[in-house]
Structure 1
Amino acid sequence: MTEAGSDVSLREYGPAVSVPLSAEAGRALAASGILQSATPDPGRAGHWLLRAGSRVGAVRTPGGPVVRIMPKTPVSRLFFLLGFSLDPARVWRDSREGTVDTGAYDDVVPALAHAVERQIDGALRRGVLQGYREVEESALVVRGRLREAEQIRRHFGRTPPVEIVHDAYTADTAENRILRAAAERLLRLPGVPGPVRRRLAHQRVRLADAQPLVRGQQLPRWQPSRLNSRYQPALRLAEAVLRGTSPEHRPGGTDPLTVDGFLLDMNQLFEDFVTVALGEALREHGLTARPQDVHHLDLVGLVRVRPDLVVRTGDGRTPLAVVDAKYKVEKGDGLLNADLYQALTYATVLGLREAHLVYAAGRRPERFHEVRGTAAGPDGRGVRLFQHSLDLSHEPARLLASLRHIAARLAGSSPHPRS
């Protein structure tokens, strides 16, 4: 069997790899949904066939190996997509390579740990942020306000001690709790390099006055403000770390087994990047963009459809076009006809003359299909289904230029629905 300390390397959407695994570790991987498939290898006893899907990163299975899934997209580009999705206003102004500093690492977890540590260090460069937080406690002297109900319930009206509530100026804020929790999570991930691990431990010491988060509970809420502006890039990346770690599964209705690690879903990341970037670009044309806008296919509202992005006029009232992002290769051989049917459904439901599909790669930057039997209006044109292709190997500036071009195409859509 594969030892717990050994590694298994897979590639995103790559071929299946036969790996020696215990039955427990194999079942844990199969039940977790982390991989596209995990099945016993019929040709080799004690081996499992593992095939990665859209999730990339690293996980440690209980009693099993560390499974590393390498992305097809270069890691520096992957973190550009992530950084843009998390903080578009900042990256939109500066689309150069390295907006999210990943160092020289070409693996997801080391690059992530390096990036988060650098962001935390930048956030704390001018000192640990402090703020006022409401504190409830028992004390020997009165400060703040007396908690009368608690005083009577706990002490039957006797004093001291007194039950009080007051505002404390402290480093135990939501922002510092999130940064500390992210540093601690990264320290537990497999594959964090020694130098990065030492720097993360140092950041944890700097944040020692912040209380640790309870695992499984929701992250504390914070509000962007002038006071925490230097923290915001680090906070957004830290929240991505905390949301992307420790998937759990319940095989056979048993207690959850934790598969510890960090994973990014490239399908979701590409969709987030496309919708956020198009939304920013459309704003330059005075248009609004609504992500995940819910509509219904049928008149009684039983069948929901939810396109990734609906482009509307500036006042938000009139839809102009609909966009769906696809993390796959656009082809001209009919293999992706289902995508065109889906786009036509969106156009039909919204009463539009255009629908747009944006792919992660393709043979041509743009192509369109005019749908038979849909010609209407003074121009005699039918419904057009556009297929756009991005090349994720391109530099960030070129990627954003391609999306601006698509946004200009969307801005030129007719505001009048077909009759």
Structure 2
Amino acid sequence: MTGPRSGGVVVVECAEYDHIDIDAGLWLDERHQTKFNSEIDGRDILRATFKKGVLKLQATSYVGVIPLNEYVVVRVKPRVPIANLTRMVIETGHNVLPLSTFREYSGRGTADDWAMDIYTDALLDHVDTILDAGLLRTYTNRQGEGHFPHGRIDFTRTMQRFAARGVDNKAAYSWFERTVDTPANRCVKAAMEVVHEHLSKARSKPRKGDRAKLARLAGQFHAFVEVSDDPDYRFLDDPEVLGLTPLPDPRAYYHPVLDLAILILQGVGIALELGGNDVQLRSLLIDTNKLFENFVRVSLAKQAKKLGWPVAVLDGNAEGKVDLYDVPDPPPAPFGVPLEALASDDPGKAQPDIVLRALDGSFPLVAEVKNTAHGKDAQADNVLPERGEVEQAITYALRYGRDFTLLIHPWINGAKGLIYVGRVRSVDVYAYRLDLSSNKHIDTALADMAATVGGLAGLTESQTPTSG
């Protein structure tokens, strides 16, 4: 790839952590500094690395459409088969990173609070755009009667209404009047009202920023004061609103806001997967490493509640963490003088991704969740987990007093479900390959994972997974 296409930008497709073959002249300046969009500059979204002595770009764990700069757009797809990113994001409440660049999405399912939050931000921005550029107006025919006609005299009506009755000082007339009370503006206003209701509804915990959004929306409503309400949504039959009849070229900026308004009014959600042309929204980047970890933990917590496990499923990065180091008393004295322990000031933290804590404070199981694609490029179907992951998991098992440890990965090929890796001294190492490649079987795969985790932790009778 040597340069931007004439009249456009270069679009590059890749998967997570792939090296990207882009001519360095498109992303490095003459001082060898990166020419990155300010929104991604300084974030671990794309990396400059050396591969076989050549400076290349490498994607990280963020998937989505990434505007590198004015010349290049990178579309990063998940490297493992994940059937429904949208479901994973919604169920975990996982944060997405919005960029100012717009891309197209497909509508799917029902718009819940998560989708409405995204729609709210997008609609506020779109309405600001149309207010800056000007509301769509049209000419409407008006009619009147009286002593002071203006516009065009309607001779037929004048003769019938007045002349025939001997009234010679009144006339019927008509004129054209520009108005903002158009189907398109009624559609936008109706969507604003739905968003207002979403922001105003009672919540157990008030959300930061909602007041500012309501104030911004109130200011926008003032510009629509002359636009009538249409509670029956009759504007949804208008060909301009539906995109069947083209809008005037100077008002093309109405297209994205009308597409969005229709999704809002119909209560349709969005699909985060790449592709689609139903609506334009800001490009939403997803960190799949954190997403996979959160989804596994949230799913296990739901299954634990459903099955009545007498444990709490905790995040070891938060409430489930413990001190990594102990300080013995007395400390060791290998040369006759007790040594002062650094851990006296900083004991460090053991932070497994998943911690099962029983009512008595014991820990039946700890697990590490890694979104790594084991065996993707290997000739064998089943390969060992990465060495660093195993070492970390064993350290945590020893610290939490367990004689086994569990690594959970997304399945990509080979065996699914539970795999025994081997033993490192006194610690048995297990790996679980979770298959998220099919919407149809995700619930079964999650139930099997929970049954396996429960069996390893001694909470349920172990069973052979059925999803493999």
CA deviations over 1:61-109 (Å, ceiling 9, x no partner): 453433322233567422232233239xxxxxxxxxxxxxxxxxxxx96
Alignment match, 1:349: 399
CA-CA distance at 1:353 after TM superposition: 2.2
Alignment match, 1:412: 458
> Structure 1 211/266 Cα, relative in aligned 2: closer, same or farther at 3 Å?
closer
- Indicate whether 1:287 and 2:311 are aligned: yes
CA distance in 2, matches of 1:318, 1:363: 34
- Indicate whether 1:368 and 2:368 are aligned: no
CA-CA distance at 1:115 after TM superposition: 4.7
- Indicate whether 1:180 and 2:173 are aligned: no
CA distance in 1, matches of 2:404, 2:52: 49
> Structure 1 76/186 Cα, relative in aligned 2: closer, same or farther at 3 Å?
farther
TM-score of the superposed pair, with normalisation by structure 1: 0.54
CA distance in 1, matches of 2:52, 2:127: 38
CA distance in 1, matches of 2:124, 2:74: 21
Alignment match, 1:324: 368
CA distance in 2, matches of 1:322, 1:269: 19
8 Å CA contact 1:37–1:50 kept in 2: the answer is yes
TM-score of the superposed pair, with normalisation by structure 2: 0.49
Corresponding letter in the other structure for 2:193: R
Alignment match, 2:180: none
Corresponding letter in the other structure for 1:298: Y
CA RMSD of aligned residues (A): 4.6
Alignment match, 1:2: 4
8 Å CA contact 2:12–2:72 kept in 1: the answer is no
- Indicate whether 1:119 and 2:111 are aligned: yes
CA distance in 1, matches of 2:363, 2:283: 41
8 Å CA contact 1:178–1:220 kept in 2: the answer is no
> Structure 1 41/345 Cα, relative in aligned 2: closer, same or farther at 3 Å?
closer
**Secondary structure at 2:435 match in 1:** coil
> Structure 1 411/186 Cα, relative in aligned 2: closer, same or farther at 3 Å?
farther
Alignment match, 2:64: 57
> Given the alignment, which residue of 14, 21, 24 partners 1:17?
21
CA distance in 2, matches of 1:203, 1:73: 41
CA distance in 2, matches of 1:187, 1:74: 37
8 Å CA contact 2:357–2:363 kept in 1: the answer is yes
Q: Structure 2: which 5+ residue stretches go unaligned? A: 95-101, 129-184, 200-206, 212-263, 273-281, 327-342, 376-381, 461-468
Alignment match, 2:43: 33
Corresponding letter in the other structure for 1:206: E
**Secondary structure at 1:114 match in 2:** strand
8 Å CA contact 2:435–2:442 kept in 1: the answer is no
Corresponding letter in the other structure for 1:180: T
> Given the alignment, which residue of 253, 258, 283 partners 1:261?
283
CA distance in 2, matches of 1:275, 1:177: 24
CA-CA distance at 1:397 after TM superposition: 2.4
**Secondary structure at 1:352 match in 2:** coil
Q: Structure 1: which 5+ residue stretches go unaligned? A: 88-107, 124-174, 189-197, 222-233, 242-259, 375-382, 415-419
> Structure 1 384/335 Cα, relative in aligned 2: closer, same or farther at 3 Å?
closer
CA-CA distance at 1:389 after TM superposition: 0.6
Alignment: residue pair count: 282
8 Å CA contact 1:36–1:53 kept in 2: the answer is yes
Alignment match, 1:310: 355
Q: Percent identity?
A: 20
CA-CA distance at 1:32 after TM superposition: 3.7
